[in-house]
Amino acid sequence: MLRAGQPAPDRSQIVSHAMTPVLIETAPVRRLAQGTPEFDAAMGQPEHQDLCDFMAYWESKREGGIPDRAAIDPVEIPKLLPNVLLIDVIGQPAYDFHYRLLGTAIVEVDGVDYRGSKLSEMVPSTSTFRHIWEHHLNAAAGTIELRQDSLRWTRDDSRDHVDYLILLLPLRRGGDSIETLFGFIHYLMHEPRRPWAQ
């Protein structure tokens, strides 16, 4: 997703999406469920206002239930777009996820343009990556969680690991079933450790 007047990322500097992420084994990886003190503490940090704004936008489209994909208008959230992603849910119940759209900040920071890829093509369904898979599967079942994670996409040391928070929110598409995940990534590069992140 590009903001008006913003040039497209230089794809010569973007690595192939066919690389498996590398995780820091000692890095904190947590999923914070909506309604818990940890979720509220993380969302309540002043530097996480973008996450709150994203959640508030989704809430404004609910009308008593899960919002419909057609109600989401990128024009209404121009400041959030660089960190937004849209993921198609494959199967009912879900068994895979197709990354349809990525914000420009995600491509720039991660160094990977994985639009058009499936989660199964990039991240093995193993215990190492269970938090990533469970987060997607839970979101597809209607559970809202905030995941804290740290990874890099290359197989060498040419790029730093990236610490981030990711929020995945469910969307319907005409019917009652959840067919899309509406996501937002907040990067933590310059933030101090917080009690909720221990």
> What value does the mean pLDDT take over residues 136-163?
83
Enclosing domain of residue 177: 29-191
- The total of structural domains in the chain comes to 1
Nearest-5° angle of CA 25, CA 103, CA 192?
Answer: 45
Q: Is residue 82 part of a domain?
A: yes
Q: Is residue 136 part of a domain?
A: yes
Q: Kindly state the DSSP code that residue 120 receives in the 8-state scheme.
A: H
For the stretch 23-75, pLDDT in tens is: 776 677 899 999 999 999 999 999 999 999 999 999 999 988 999 999 999 88
What pLDDT sits at residue 33? 96
Q: Is residue 5 part of a domain?
A: no
Alpha-carbon distance of 126 to 180, in angstroms, equals 23
Query: For residue 65, what is the domain's CATH number?
Result: 3.30.450.20
For the stretch 162-176, pLDDT in tens is: 889 999 999 998 888
Range list of H helices, 3-158: 37-43, 49-60, 104-110, 119-122, 130-140
Q: Is residue 21 part of a domain?
A: no
> What value does the mean pLDDT take over residues 70-95?
94
Residues near 165 by Cβ (< 8 Å), separated by ≥ 6? 42, 48, 51, 146, 147, 148, 185, 186, 188
CA distances from 165 to 39, 88, 94, 162 (A): 11, 20, 23, 10
Task: Please tell me the total number of residues recorded for the chain in this structure.
Answer: 198
Q: Is residue 76 part of a domain?
A: yes
Q: Is residue 125 part of a domain?
A: yes
Confidence grade of residue 148 (pLDDT, cut at 50, 70, 90): very high
Q: Is residue 11 part of a domain?
A: no
In this predicted structure, the answer to whether residue 10 has a pLDDT above a threshold of 70 is no
Q: Is residue 6 part of a domain?
A: no
